[in-house]
A and B are shown apart, each in its own frame.
Chain A
Amino acid sequence: MTDAAALAPAATARAAPPRVPVLDVAGLSVQFRTRSGTVHALDEVSLQVHRGECLGVVGESGSGKSVTAYAVMRLLDPAARITAGRITFGGMDILAASEREMADLRGRELSMIFQNPRAALNPIRQVGMQIADVLVRHGGVTRAEAPARAAALLAEVGIPDPVRRAKAYPFELSGGMCQRVGIALALACRPALLIADEPTTGLDVTTQAVIMDLVLGLARARGMATVLITHDLGLASEYCDRTAVMHAGHVVEAAPAADLFAAPRHPYTAKLIAATPQPGRALSDLAAIPGGLPDLRRGDLPACRFLDRCERAEPGCAVPPLPRHLSEDGRMVACRHPL
């Protein structure tokens, strides 16, 4: 299991008192009960995010990125069961909190930006009113002063003519504008932690950079912690301080973003980078990753779930426990034979 203090660079740990992460997910395991068997969706997932830091969580579909986010928000499907681990947010045990405490936390201290901005907004309520609702419910703002505050928030996320736009319905706004409203909504009460789940996936590349600048600019200015969930390696490398790579419910590697892309240690990370199209690479330079995710319903899942797709694998890789090597430079790799 990953230790929070061990992931921080050793030097700082000695010089200053160890920083307490805003969010500490430790050894989290989640299962889903389905008609066709129990899906082992997350297995001992550990992540830490500090104040003012942006953590990227990268992985392909089915890797467990969103399940992790929903577990933190306590928004998991009723079929889900948390079988091990703990989630600590600002010193509070999220898994032990009552539904009422969670409702107070969400929107005020813990916020989320969703992949499909238009679906995340109420289609039959003016966007300004939706922001006002959050301010009244969580921000201690009175009904009378809420509209003006909502318009100010819309201005802050770069929406021109905010007083008029506050009266618009989501269908009247473009995808990029809706995502700005989503950001204004998420940041209305100055949360300590923002989870952005694929915030730019449905947007055009030209809008992508603008939205990412906006989210991370505001996050930095307010000392907020951010978790960026994405399948886009380029986006993660550009905007995150640290990046965790997930595969089939495991965090297989975590490292400062620049180091991760310059010198990946887990075979899966290396293959993911090698499969990503980028300038200067021809089709023949790219290598697909053979095979697929293992069936997570299997009762006898090997310790390393990348085993079947890995050419470095040997029989010992299947034997638990999955090693999680921590190194001095703040990197973690869950592999018996790292690169």
Chain B
Amino acid sequence: MTALLEVQGLQKRFPMGGGGMLPCRRAAPSFLHAVEDVSFTLRAGETLGLVGESGCGKSTLARLLARLLDPTEGSIRLGGQEIGAIPAKRFGAIPATRPGAMPSTRPGAMPPRAAIQMVFQDAEGSINPRHTAFEAIARPLRQLSRLSGAELRTRVERTAALCGLPAELLGRFPHQLSGGQKARVGIARAVATEPALLVLDEPTSALDVSVQVVILDLLRSLQARTGAAYVFVSHDLNVVRLLCDRVLVMYLGRVVEEGAAETLFAAPAHPYTRALVGAVSVPGRRKGEERVRLSGEPRSPIDPDPQACRFHGRCPIGQDLCARAAPPVHELPGGRRVACHFPLTAGAMAAA
């Protein structure tokens, strides 16, 4: 089966400004390397988790994939069509050119913006406060699916029902809705056009645990129904574990490990993944038990040394070599990849 989404050598660098206004005071421009050389593929109906600490580039990567940001380099192919080169500014205005050109869970023509949708972390801040829930869900349908009148109303109501929003809430404004209901509106708006790819940026991190479960259940049942692929960004590994088939672990812009969620959590191959998995808190665990502590602070993402592992300095097993050479990517069985000089799965390596 061919991949729905193919990402190859994706890179995003933000210029940091070169100093003063006068030419003589201008230093060489420096760059913040937010996303470095990221490659992966995603099949329809699959969920990929993106995890890492704040500042590791997971949200930047999500925005690149949702085509809200332009990559510095690299390609993003959706259903075989290159979309990475289309400027993000124009991306939303591209009409459905050829019938069936963009992959969708629904047969028929669809503009690229309708095929990729995003759910934002802050449902409160990402919904227009002057729009009712109905209007929030209707807008993408009106603009991208060219629906109006009774047809539009039916579609909005059907989508809302699918997302567990009672019809009587559709006339309400965001401030009249609870946190869980706002999260549902954010999801309903994103799935209204029946996208093939849904990018979710920490969709439950602002919710209480009692509501979080309901939203995760909703996301899973929607996926079973529509067959959409999910990219799920989260810093909460306990949540990622619940929803994701595969996981990319990022550290300072680079993917340090990739693998099936279950095996990656059970036997992390990268020392950073191990630290991340070990740091997860568990109710009922006794004090200080097996929590892994990382010393030090992450390096600066601005003009990083290309000849060193970015985890060097915080890595509990780092050696001199790590400061002199960027780590190679080892391919392990089961589609697993790890970028480390000294991966923790010596046995698995030998078997491969």
Contact = CB atoms under 8 A, between A and B. Distances in A.
Interface of A: 60-61, 174-177, 204-210, 213, 231-239, 258, 261-262, 271-273, 275-279, 281-283, 286-289, 292
B242 A206 contact: no
Interface string B154-193: 0000000000000000000000001110000000000000
B88 to A, nearest CB: 28
Contacts of A207: 53
B336 interface: no
Given A60-B209, A272-B209, A277-B238, A283 B281 contact: no
Contact of B242 (A175, A236, A271, A277): A277
Given A174-B297, A288-B214, A238 B281 contact: yes
B217 A288 contact: yes
B131 to A, nearest CB: 23
Contacts of A234: 280-283, 285
A129 to B, nearest CB: 22
Interface in B266-310: 275-276, 279-289, 291-294, 297
B312 to A, nearest CB: 16
Interface residues of B, number: 42
B32 interface: no
A272 B208 CA distance: 10
A293 to B, nearest CB: 9
Interface of B: 53-54, 178-180, 208-214, 216-217, 220, 235-239, 241-243, 265, 275-276, 279-289, 291-294, 297
B144 to A, nearest CB: 31
A253 B292 CA distance: 31
Which of B213, B236, B292, B297: most chain A Cβ within 10 A?
B213
Given A233-B209, A273-B283, 9 more contacts: A205-B235, A205-B237, A206-B294, A209-B291, A258-B286, A262-B284, A277-B212, A283-B242, A288-B211
A126 B114 CA distance: 49
Given A237-B284, A283-B242, A208 B279 contact: yes
18 contacts: A60-B210, A204-B235, A205-B281, A207-B53, A209-B292, A233-B209, A237-B282, A238-B285, A272-B210, A277-B213, A277-B236, A277-B238, A277-B239, A277-B241, A278-B282, A279-B280, A286-B242, A292-B178
A279 B209 contact: no
Which of A174, A204, A235, A262: most chain B Cβ within 10 A?
A204
A261 B276 CA distance: 24
A204 B293 contact: no
Nearest to A283: B242
Contacts of A287: 213
Nearest to A277: B238
